[in-house]
Chain A
């Protein structure tokens, strides 16, 4: 087997480089990460790191530390293995391919970096995002149930996960401190650490419970639609369901069009957003919600006939969405967002397109 040349043919003052050696060097880097991950993980699993795994008889040989902590520690070598492994896989995949062939896949001009990826496109519609994620949930009455895009659900999930994981660590530390105390040993450093961890753990639980109460009190919002994807000029039946207890001073339903533009600003990424169209679909006032029940109603959603379709490219997007704003009597207002995908229509806009556009942009009645 012939090894690639480290230095190629000499041409005047210049020597050619070798793409193969470049890939090899990069591969060495990722291999080092994999090796570090295996070494670290091995020391944890075998107990060489001083962390004891329970014996078959259930005894904890090291005292104090147990396998919960060991599992947490395995996250570090896991990350090294994942990063190093994916890098190695990429090297192997691109090995032997020309620069042009690789560049054709990345289509990167200017500075080369790893950020950015193109959105999945709808078949036959370049630049239009797929709506697979929006049509995989059947509605109870209408054809599809729209997924929610609001940050509050993610915040609740994040808080819950944080509170659970943090308090799991607190429990492990507390067990260790307790075991020491029972043996007549006082580890002041551990106790001081434990005090801080307990304070943060309690804070996390309080925040999570508060948010959970708020979310439960205002209840879930459900939006179903008769068809998807939508097209300009189309009208669709929509079901709005709002749970909770008490009553709402107002429940507002909007159709919005939003633009997103991402720009790499030096070392940071900056994303600009602009809402360029908003139409009031319906506003209800003094909405009572019986305990255990929910407010439910149908509306007609119309997409302006000369409207832009949904668009998504690597750094730019045009997105449609339904926005529900609820104003409870005794709680803060909530905003819930439901994404939509609008495909391009077959024909150009109708003669009334300009009138529809004015109404949409000005937030007029639908």
Chain B
């Protein structure tokens, strides 16, 4: 059995909001496992907006590092929609399709990890924003084993 295709609300950050937005992201591949240069197809649903007016939506596919070092970030794809006539197409429902790159591949290292994720950021009329992050795997690299040697 595989993990469900739907990614639950995931990590989110609401900056001073009274509403409780939730973003459900649907990945086209079970287990959210992708290969390099494969197509990534995403659909998402946003609820819990609580009637607050949205002024812009940003969608992105990024990689970031995690571990004992400073966090680095790489943006593979980014789109901002802020024209009022385009917003209904992306909020509360939307989707996109992009081709994933050759690298960097997802990596579960010991002190360095590379993670890929889909981010959906909602900007409200009163300048506050909400971001939701949904991790997926690119490349199927096996996790690193315990370190043989550590130096700091």
Contact = CB atoms under 8 A, between A and B. Distances in A.
The answer to A–B direct touch (Cβ < 8 A) is: yes
Interface of A: 107, 116, 124-128, 257, 259-264, 270-278, 306-309, 311, 313-318, 343-344, 346-349, 353-354, 357-358, 361-363
B145 A276 contact: yes
Q: Which 4 A-B pairs have the closest CB atoms?
A: A261-B69, A127-B104, A361-B145, A313-B72
Contacts of A128: 103-104
A315 B64 CA distance: 11
Contact of A314 (B67, B72, B103, B142): B72
Contacts of B150: 272-275
Contact of B142 (A272, A315, A357): A357
Contacts of A107: 73
Interface of B: 35-37, 63, 65, 67-74, 76, 101-105, 107, 109-112, 114, 139-142, 144-152
A54 B117 CA distance: 69
B141 A349 contact: yes
B36 A346 contact: yes
Contacts of A347: 35
A272 B69 CA distance: 8
A126 B74 contact: yes
A194 to B, nearest CB: 42
B123 to A, nearest CB: 16
Contacts of A314: 70, 72
A318 B35 contact: no
Contacts of B146: 276, 361
Contacts of B114: 127, 311
A311 B142 contact: no
B74 to A, nearest CB: 6
Given A127-B74, A259-B109, A313-B74, A275 B142 contact: no
Contacts of A272: 68-69, 111, 150-152
A261 B112 contact: yes
A318 B146 CA distance: 15
Nearest to A305: B142
A348 B142 contact: no
Contacts of A308: 105, 107, 109, 141, 144
A361 B35 CA distance: 24
A125 B152 contact: no
Given A126-B102, A272-B150, 18 more contacts: A107-B73, A116-B70, A124-B102, A127-B74, A127-B103, A261-B68, A262-B70, A263-B68, A270-B152, A275-B149, A276-B110, A308-B141, A311-B112, A316-B67, A347-B35, A348-B35, A349-B142, A362-B145
B104 A276 contact: no
Contacts of B145: 276-277, 357-358, 361-362
Contacts of A362: 145
Contacts of A344: 36, 102-105, 139
Contacts of A313: 65, 72, 74
10 contacts: A126-B104, A127-B63, A261-B67, A261-B68, A276-B146, A311-B114, A314-B72, A315-B72, A316-B112, A354-B142
A343 B102 CA distance: 9
A321 B22 CA distance: 45
B151 A273 contact: yes
